[in-house]
Amino acid sequence: EPEVTQTPSHQVTQMGQEVILRCVPISNHLYFYWYRQILGQKVEFLVSFYNNEISEKSEIFDDQFSVERPDGSNFTLKIRSTKLEDSAMYFCASAQGPTNEKLFFGSGTQLSVL
């Protein structure tokens, strides 16, 4: 079965550094998302992306965050200057379209900011 692929599975970085988290959504999907889960807490929506632009974003998704679909397959989340509180599991997700009710998540990237 097709799956959403995320790399790396773990990322350790120093506070203030930039990180890029990478995702390859399912190939015929058109809607892409980033969510995060701080350890022991709820999964939280960050941003949705469709037709090469952000369609929705949460309060968490401030100017330090950006997303990009640089080519036909990759979908990236960049954090410009990481903070300690950015430490979390980051999930990429994709869906085929508005009539497809299944939202598929990747296996996540565990980001640790030191």
Partner 1 sequence: AQKITQTQPGMFVQEKEAVTLDCTYDTSDPSYGLFWYKQPSSGEMIFLIYQGSYDQQNATEGRYSLNFQKARKSANLVISASQLGDSAMYFCAMREGWSGAGSYQLTFGKGTKLSVIP
By CB under 8 A, tell whether 5 contacts partner 1.
no
By CB under 8 A, tell whether 99 contacts partner 1.
yes
Rounded CA separation 35/44 (Å)? 5
By CB under 8 A, tell whether 11 contacts partner 1.
no
- Nearest distance, CB of residue 86 and partner 1, angstroms: 17
- Nearest distance, CB of residue 110 and partner 1, angstroms: 7
- Nearest distance, CB of residue 44 and partner 1, angstroms: 7
Strands 109-113 and 31-37, how do they pair?
unpaired
* Residues β-bridged to residue 37: 43, 89
Per-position DSSP letters for 89-109, written without gaps between them:
EEEEEEES-TT----EE---E
Site string for partner 1, 43-72 (x = CB under 8 A): xxx--x-x----xx-x--------------
By CB under 8 A, tell whether 35 contacts partner 1.
yes
List Cβ neighbours of 99 (8 Å cut-off, separation of 6 or more): none
* The two structure tokens encoding residue 54: 């952000």
- Nearest distance, CB of residue 47 and partner 1, angstroms: 9
